[in-house]
Amino acid sequence: MKCALVTGGSRGIGKAICVKLAAMGYYIIVNYKSNEDAANQTLASLKASGSDGELLKFDVADKDDVKAALGSWIEQNPDKLIEVLVNNAGIKQDVLMMWMKDEDWDSVLNTSLNGFFYVTRLVLNGMLVKKFGRIINIVSLSGLKGLPGQTNYSAAKAGVIGATKALAQEVGRRGITVNAVAPGFIKTDMTEGLNEKDLKAMIPVHRFGEPEEVAATVAFLASADASYITGEVISVNGGLYS
């Protein structure tokens, strides 16, 4: 059975990605950390559309938790190949660096950057054996141009971008592509506190994006049509550049 693992798949962009990949025929493994109700809603949406999947609870920032949950799942499901991995889990702790606490830095770096490493390392082995795989990392406009108040988030996402380019060169000959998608301002719970009226004036298309528009880009990168694209960062930001 061909599977797609989406970390942070219970809400927002992650949920939209789960729905889109399910429509492509993948069995979806919906990872979540704590919001079980939202994760169940995502799974219910998949099943209501005729697709299937399951929930897998673990904290991507905790290597022992990743190994216990994801490692055990891989061992116990030898007939289910994780063909697509979407590293979507991430958090923000926005504050100017002069006031940033150690935990503000650590939590953001651990979730986005270390989480990418812990999860991808486990999943990669199966892809190498099968000589096929799609790894898609959700980064950010912040990781490309930097944004004030997001030194930690920008550093984390920029780190994942660098890792994306390096890993793509390591595994390309084994039929595995590694790419990143960098959303700009997307309508999710992470942006609901922002002043959309003022910010959209900076965006050439003059609006915030929808999670489904990010998911469509992820779906393309997961498809056979994108087999010659690797090590790339695709921006989904309405034309908003530095």
Does the pLDDT of residue 193 top 70, yes or no?
Answer: no
Calculate mean pLDDT across residues 172-194. Answer: 87
φ and ψ of 141, to 5 deg = -55, -35
The pLDDT score that the predictor gives to residue 108 is: 96
Q: What is d(CA 107, CA 92) in angstroms, rounded to the nearest whole number?
A: 9
The pLDDT score that the predictor gives to residue 95 is: 92
The pLDDT score that the predictor gives to residue 49 is: 85
Calculate mean pLDDT across residues 163-176. Answer: 98
What CA dihedral angle connects 185, 191, 192 and 193, to 10 degrees? Answer: -120
Does the pLDDT of residue 48 top 90, yes or no?
Answer: no
- For CA atoms 164, 90, 26, 121, the dihedral sign is positive
Does the pLDDT of residue 56 top 80, yes or no?
Answer: yes
Q: What is d(CA 239, CA 242) in angstroms, rounded to the nearest whole number?
A: 10
The pLDDT score that the predictor gives to residue 24 is: 94
Q: At 63, list the tokens.
A: 């290597």
Q: Which of 32, 153, 228, 241 is catalytic?
A: 153
Mean pLDDT of the chain: 93
195-212 per-position pLDDT tens digit: 667 888 888 999 989 999
Calculate mean pLDDT across residues 150-166. Answer: 97
The pLDDT score that the predictor gives to residue 81 is: 93
Known active-site residue 153: yes
What percentage of residues in the chain have a pLDDT greater than 90?
81
The pLDDT score that the predictor gives to residue 231 is: 98
pLDDT level of residue 191 (50, 70, 90 thresholds): low
φ and ψ of 118, to 5 deg = -60, -45
Does the pLDDT of residue 192 top 70, yes or no?
Answer: no
91-148 per-position pLDDT tens digit: 888 899 999 999 999 999 999 999 999 999 999 999 999 999 999 999 999 899 888 9
Domains within the chain, CATH numbers bracketed = 2-236 (3.40.50.720)
pLDDT level of residue 194 (50, 70, 90 thresholds): low
Global pTM reads 0.94
The pLDDT score that the predictor gives to residue 92 is: 87
For residues 1 and 232, which has the higher predicted lDDT (pLDDT)? Answer: 232
Among 28-32, 66-70, 143-147, 223-227, the minimum mean pLDDT is found in: 143-147
